[in-house]
A and B are shown apart, each in its own frame.
Chain A
Amino acid sequence: MTKYIIRRLLGIIPTLLVIITISFFIIRVAPGGPFDGERALPEVVKRNIEAKYHMNDPLIVQYGRYMFDVLRGDLGPSYRYKDHDVNFYIFQSLPNSMILGAIAISLSIIFGITSGMLAAVKQNTWVDYLSMALAVVGISVPLFVIGPVLQYIFAMRLGWFPTSGWFRSGDGWKTIVLPALTLAFADFATIARLTRSSMLETLRSDYIRTAKAKGMKPSAIIFKHSMKGAMLPIVSYLGPAFAGIITGSVVVETVFRIPGLGRFFVQSSFNRDYTLIVGVVIVYSVILVIMNFLVDIVYSLLDPRITYK
């Protein structure tokens, strides 16, 4: 097991190198560059800027220089935001996204698993219908609708929470509630549906029939005999979902004006801000690769049939 963990951790390095390389070249295939704007720059000015950022060197030389910097932990200067480098923007915004994402995913896990389990155990009753109706809403209604609706009800009408602002003085933790609920909604829906179907499948399995034939109580059958098996699909869903949610959501960050990482995913692409794009891609990939690794570990803890050598 220890050997397996070490091997997997070492395996992350080449994965990341490949990801960085691919994204480095793909962005440069896209037409336009970081200094092309609505108004074309004078030829001389543009050449000077490009020379300053070494953009006239052959691509392979640029790549070599960039890789060298990345390996030292320097993601380079942003081509668009001139005040700071990419490292600064990421380290300033990532914690906000992580806090929000962690709260949101916890909420969706708690409510998703609970309502999914209830729906499965009370199949074809109003409990089932209610939680699956909620799940359909969560899956089909986009976040940019849910967000403003929550703002309207809980901020404007009831005045319980502020509409936006991230930890602004006076409001503190209250600012986090509405964006976290909004962000939690989509994953809640998916987790609830996954839990329900996987729980139903487990409850129909032969070994649950055995447990019933032994005279076990329904509660023991659900928690002791069904939970582990039913959780497997949810665990594999949670890996990528967790990586996605803690790296921020552009919609929620825009609706609630949160200085998170999510907006950079979109903005940096529009701006052709090469270094920032690769920077956020690296952050996302690192988190995703680690999450997938954790999922595999949790899997082996849950299911004794899975062993790693």
Chain B
Amino acid sequence: MTNATSPDTYKRLLEVKGLQTYFKTDAGIVKAVDGISFTLNKGETLGIVGESGSGKSVTNLSIMRLIPSPPGKIVGGEVLFEGKDILKLSESELRHLRGNDISMIFQDPMTSLNPFLRISTQMIETIRLHKTMSRKEALAKSIEMLKLVGIPAAEERIHSYPHQFSGGMRQRVMIAMALSCEAKILIADEPTTALDVTIQAQILELIQELSKKLDTAVILITHDLGVVAGMCDTVCVMYAGKIVEKAKTDDLYAKPSHPYTFGLIQSVPRLDKAHDGKLFSIEGQPPNVIDLPPCCPFHPRCHKAMDICRTKYPPTKDLGNGHEVSCWLFIDEKEHSHE
């Protein structure tokens, strides 16, 4: 490492600091994402896990500034890409960033491609938006990308329409399109949720393999902890719009600290462990995030809840090696009274 004084700045690709995205609804303000921070390094794969409605997707749409507004609005925080705040970019700078530096693939490949345009049209236009290439060169590049993601007979199939492809193939096309401009970050928003199990593994392997090959950092949004274990270097666990625990994947599985993370890991069905026929589940429902009082949102479902959990949101505690947790269990009395 040449820059010995601050090796971190050299590696840091994306830094999210205190991001807040709120939605105005008739029922009140929904704090979908409320002050989250994380860092994504070059070539790293970061997992964001959480239940539906925990703010995973909103986080990533916020990074791309794709939040439908109104009703959504990014009300605070910074999203630094290579040191530049994405939230302050002009519309045209933003367009240059989208698809070029950061690209996205979405949950449902059946609806994410335009059904009215040929695959070739959609791929060529993406490349030509960001690279100075002739139509022919862009077509050649598109075919090369399709081959890379394992589409057979790519030369002919590229001229098909999306409906002529299966779901798994369409997600491959989405990946090919997302990586065609050599994006530095690929955001994959539950890329396998809509696919059947056999295809899921293939798509995840493909993402993993290509990100290594092209040196792309990946943010993988999922609710599947099994997926995270196999793919991610770092994991953020989200609950009710906040990151409750953040750690290297191995640490997280070895020492899940937040009661919620612990519950999540417990609820993954394991083949290698005996159980009495019942699957573990976390009692209760995810909280309604409209006008949430200042408390730990997990306390009604938490077996270790204390009095303070009901009145104050816990500060973040660093357990070492980048393992951070937001839970009162880890804040000792002295520290708290000192505050």
Are A305's CB and B163's CB within 8 A? yes
Are A205's CB and B111's CB within 8 A? yes
Report how far A144 CA is from B322 CA in the complex, Å.
Answer: 76
Are A207's CB and B111's CB within 8 A? yes
* 99-115 of chain B: CB within 8 A of chain A: 99-100, 103-104, 106, 108, 111-115
- The reply on B126 being an interface residue by CB < 8 A is yes
Q: List 22 A-B contacts (CB under 8 A).
A: A206-B106, A206-B108, A206-B111, A206-B112, A207-B113, A209-B106, A213-B64, A213-B98, A213-B104, A214-B103, A214-B125, A215-B96, A215-B99, A215-B130, A216-B95, A217-B95, A220-B125, A225-B117, A229-B115, A304-B116, A305-B161, A305-B163
Report how far A228 CA is from B117 CA in the complex, Å.
Answer: 9
Are B66's CB and A212's CB within 8 A? yes
Contacts of B114 in A (CB 8 A): 207, 210-211, 225, 229
Report how far A220 CA is from B106 CA in the complex, Å.
Answer: 21
Report how far A211 CA is from B106 CA in the complex, Å.
Answer: 12
CB distance from A11 to the nearest CB of B (A): 27
> Size band of the B side of the interface?
20 to 34
Contacts of A304 in B (CB 8 A): 115-116, 118, 161, 163
Are A303's CB and B116's CB within 8 A? yes
- The reply on B133 being an interface residue by CB < 8 A is no
Instruction: Bits for A192-228, please: 1 = Cβ < 8 Å to B, else 0.
Output: 0000000000001111011111111100100011001
Interface residues of B (CB under 8 A from A): 64, 66, 68, 70, 94-100, 103-104, 106, 108, 111-118, 125-126, 129-130, 161, 163, 174, 177
Interface residues of A (CB under 8 A from B): 124, 204-207, 209-217, 220, 224-225, 228-229, 302-305
Chain A contact surface mostly: helix
Report how far A163 CA is from B103 CA in the complex, Å.
Answer: 61
CB distance from A203 to the nearest CB of B (A): 10
Report how far A305 CA is from B117 CA in the complex, Å.
Answer: 10
CB distance from B158 to the nearest CB of A (A): 14
> Chain A: which residue is nearest B101 at the CB level?
A215
Contacts of A216 in B (CB 8 A): 95, 125, 129
Are B98's CB and A210's CB within 8 A? no
Given contacts A207-B111, A305-B163, contact A215 B98 (CB under 8 A): yes
Are A210's CB and B115's CB within 8 A? no
Contacts of A205 in B (CB 8 A): 111
> Chain A: which residue is nearest B123 at the CB level?
A214
Given contacts A215-B100, A216-B125, A216-B129, contact A210 B113 (CB under 8 A): yes
Contacts of A212 in B (CB 8 A): 66, 98
CB distance from B120 to the nearest CB of A (A): 13
Given contacts A215-B100, A225-B117, contact A210 B161 (CB under 8 A): no
Residue of A213, A224, A302, A305 with highest tally of chain B CB at under 10 A: A213
